[in-house]
Amino acid sequence: MDVIPAIDLLEGHCVRLYQGDYDRSQVFSENPADVAKQWVDEGATRLHIVDLDGAKAGKVVNLRAIEAIAHAVSVPIEIGGGLRDRTSVQQVFNLGIQWAILGTIAVEQPQLVQELCQEFPEQIIIGIDARNGLVATRGWLETSEVLATQLAVQMQELGAAAIIYTDIHRDGTLTGPNLEALRELAAAISIPIIASGGVSSVTDLLSLLALEPQGVTGVIVGRALYTGDILLKEALRAIGPGRIQDIPPNLDFSTFA
């Protein structure tokens, strides 16, 4: 299972929000590119970036910081926040970003999502951010009447490469992932699901590992990495490639020899 460090950008800084509240942000670094390099140096094979200003503005805002991160590391990057038209999507792909995460337009402009999935196959991920099971849009400032599972099924049919599912009530709270919601989502679709929100410990990561056979292939970790509640290297050893339980036993060795 992929362990994907999150880098949330607000006014050019690396921050974390509490339950998506812009007024409850904490700055962890003024140089997001350095943060990206740190996570890659510690073993990250993929990064998750959110342009928080972009999510509110409806367009890419932190372009300079995104470009700096893309130039600083060589691992694939996924990015969301404010990608609501073709121009914005093309803009981030031009920087070398691997995946564009679409949220608001998945609800408001599904036809555009279908066109983008056709134009950029396997590069469009749908970010489903849910509040009490209903999809939130526009930087989590509005809540729709669309059920998360219904949207996921629709987006799979339109050609989405994967779904990132975030439980807003758990995001930035370190209260653990919403396993029940993830299990329900996994039962409804067959494309990969990336879990996000609430991960606070290696124990939480191991609980998600049980959902891997159902299609939960990755987990985004944010605040817990920045507070030190989770060490990336330990997380990778627990659930990443070559995790301890995947190492075959040495059958030639015997403690009685």
Catalytic residues: 8, 129
Distance in angstroms (rounded) separating the CA atoms of residues 44 and 167: 23
Among 55, 54, 50, 39, which residue's Cα sits nearest to residue 2?
Answer: 39
Tell me the torsion sign for CA atoms 214, 198, 232, 27. positive
Tell how strand 142-147 and strand 47-51 pair up: unpaired
Q: What is the phi/psi pair of residue 216, to 5°? A: -85, 100
Q: Strand locations in 168-244, DSSP E?
A: 193-196, 216-221
CA distances (Å), origin 90, targets 21, 95, 121, 138, 196: 28, 9, 13, 20, 25
Among 199, 233, 200, 234, which residue's Cα sits nearest to residue 218?
Answer: 199
Q: Strand locations in the chain, DSSP E?
A: 2-10, 13-18, 21-29, 47-51, 77-80, 99-102, 124-131, 134-137, 142-147, 162-167, 193-196, 216-221
Query: Which amino acid belongs to residue 181?
Result: A
Q: Look at residue 197 and give its three-state secondary structure.
A: coil
